[in-house]
Amino acid sequence: MSTFQEIKQKFTDAYTAQEKRQAEFEAKAEKARQSAMRYYSIAARKMGDCYKLKHKGWMSRDIHWTEHLVLPILLEVDKITGLNFHEDFTRHTFGLRNECPVFATDKNGKTVASLCFTPGETEKGQIFIDTGKKRYDQCSPNSIAALNGFDNVTEEVTSIEVIIDNIKRNNPDLELNN
């Protein structure tokens, strides 16, 4: 065999060996990919299950601070004062402060008093009530913050008496049962 033939044979043998090794690596890679895809499929299903469970968790949240904290407080205020806050009560909140305005009506349906609740640390049952005063050092008048009530002075509701005092303070001419 000539030198050229020997060189050519060495090359083809090496090339064939290389192709064989490459095919082995590709087979191993394909096996790993299939395995990963099986796990990916399982992971994708598990992530879907996780999403569905989280969604169910959020959808099952039926305890809202307005309905389960503010409404019972208003019923107590109604008993003590003779006002009618709860009649038109909705659990809707408004604005960036998440405020819940409520209105008391007389027998003719005329609004005679109003309160505005905002949540504090909800998990602790903390709520606040607007005092009717403004803080002009917090934000400039007619700003978005002021329009959303961030300039309102609030006080924490620690008892029913805090609310009744607030009603008396903001509605001095209003006659209450207590």
Q: Give tens-digit pLDDT for 30-55.
A: 888 888 777 777 878 888 887 787 77
* Torsions phi, psi for 170 (to 5 deg): -90, -15
pTM score of the predicted model: 0.64
Please tell me whether residues 91 and 38 are part of one structural domain: no
Bridge partners of 129, per DSSP, are 117, 155
Please tell me whether residues 87 and 147 are part of one structural domain: yes
From 37, 33, 46, 115, select the one nearest 81 (Cα to Cα): 115
In a domain, 178, yes or no: no
At residue 58, the pLDDT reads 67
Distance between CA atoms of residues 59 and 54, nearest Å: 9
Distance between CA atoms of residues 66 and 85, nearest Å: 13
Q: Give tens-digit pLDDT for 117-127.
A: 999 887 788 89
Q: Give tens-digit pLDDT for 132-144.
A: 888 877 778 888 8
From 30, 61, 92, give the residue that closes a domain.
61
Q: How many CB atoms lie within 10 A of CB 77?
A: 24
At residue 1, the pLDDT reads 62
Please tell me whether residues 159 and 78 are part of one structural domain: yes
Contact present, 137 and 154 (Cβ < 8 Å): no
Please tell me whether residues 82 and 151 are part of one structural domain: yes
Please tell me whether residues 157 and 96 are part of one structural domain: yes
Residues 6+ apart with CB under 8 A from 153: 130, 131, 132, 133, 134, 135
The average confidence (pLDDT) of the chain is 83
Please tell me whether residues 73 and 92 are part of one structural domain: yes
Please tell me whether residues 107 and 156 are part of one structural domain: yes
Q: Considering its fold, how many domains does the chain have in total? A: 2
Please tell me whether residues 23 and 90 are part of one structural domain: no
Residue numbers of the domain that contains 111: 65-170
Residues 6+ apart with CB under 8 A from 46: none
58-65 average pLDDT score:
71
Give the tokens for residue 4: 């050229």
Please tell me whether residues 116 and 143 are part of one structural domain: yes
Q: Give tens-digit pLDDT for 144-177.
A: 888 778 888 899 999 999 999 999 999 888 888 7
